[in-house]
Amino acid sequence: MKIDLLGKKWLDIVFEGRNKSYGAYDLRKHNDKTNLKALGIGAVVFAIAVATPIIADFISSVTATTDEGLHDRITAVKLPPKEEKPKEDLKPPPPPKPKEDVVKFVKPVVAKKDEVTEEPPKVEDIKDKNLGKEDIKGDKDAPLSVDPPGNGPPQNDVVEDNTIYNSAGIEVQPGFPGGMPKWYSFLKNNFSPPEEPGLKGKVVVSFVVEKDGSLTDIKVLKDIGYGSGKEAERVLRKGPKWTPAEQNGRKVRCAFIQTFSIENPEE
């Protein structure tokens, strides 16, 4: 007797005389259906796992194409310039009413009685009231407003002060860097008197200390000859800039006079 292992008869032989309600018998009896279900579920899960990347790529490509087309359509559209209608001349709104009454001020003028066109207000009418160009009824509930402080008159019309002041009456006199002792030392080391025996006298030179400290308008007021005046002028032009003079807190031009004493020995 041959037993068909693929059939279900062998189960009855194996479990003959045993409790067939035991789980192993029932499990083996329905094994074919269980295997088919498992195979079907596995096939579906495998198909979903394989198809998911393909579906994601397809959706992203479709979305990107749609966005690019939308972007092209938006950027390609050019709206015509908006025509602005000219604004009509609108009258400014009336100013708010003041908190207190304003009484029109009439300038008193000496005239004949029949020539008076407008009577000036009485003292009782202007008591505890402000004076203005016209009568205005005050509003006690009006907000109290204060104009913001201004910047004062414009400074564009300020004229630059190019006056040449005298060093004797200036508030802050011009000065050589390091003080006047340094100035005298500079003159002594740089001034070369003419080599003329017995030459004796004083050379007087005037100049102007500008606002930037430079020396200009150098003039020889007194010269004793032999090139002494030109030498004094040369030394002044060679010198460094001074500290400018000040008047009323502002730098100004200031005149200065310098004397050179020359006394050469006799041969």
**Model confidence over 190-206: pLDDT tens digits?**
999 998 888 999 999 99
pLDDT-based confidence at 38, cuts 50/70/90? confident
pLDDT for 40: 85
**Averaged over 11-22, what is the pLDDT?**
60
User: Does residue 103 contact residue 135 with C-beta atoms inside 8 Å?
Assistant: yes
pLDDT for 42: 87
Q: Which of 105-109, 155-159, 223-227, 230-234 has the lowest mean pLDDT?
A: 105-109
pLDDT-based confidence at 112, cuts 50/70/90? low
pLDDT for 118: 62
Percent of the chain clearing pLDDT 90 (strictly above): 31
**Model confidence over 57-80: pLDDT tens digits?**
888 776 655 555 545 455 555 666
**Averaged over 252-258, what is the pLDDT?**
93
Give first-to-last CA distance, the chain, whole Å. Answer: 170
pLDDT for 47: 86
pLDDT for 223: 93
User: Does residue 261 contact residue 187 with C-beta atoms inside 8 Å?
Assistant: no
pLDDT for 37: 82
**Averaged over 23-35, what is the pLDDT?**
66
Percent of the chain clearing pLDDT 70 (strictly above): 55
Using a cut of 0.75, tell me whether the model's pTM lies above it: no
pLDDT for 201: 93
pLDDT-based confidence at 104, cuts 50/70/90? low
| Bridge partners, residue 216, by sequence | 208
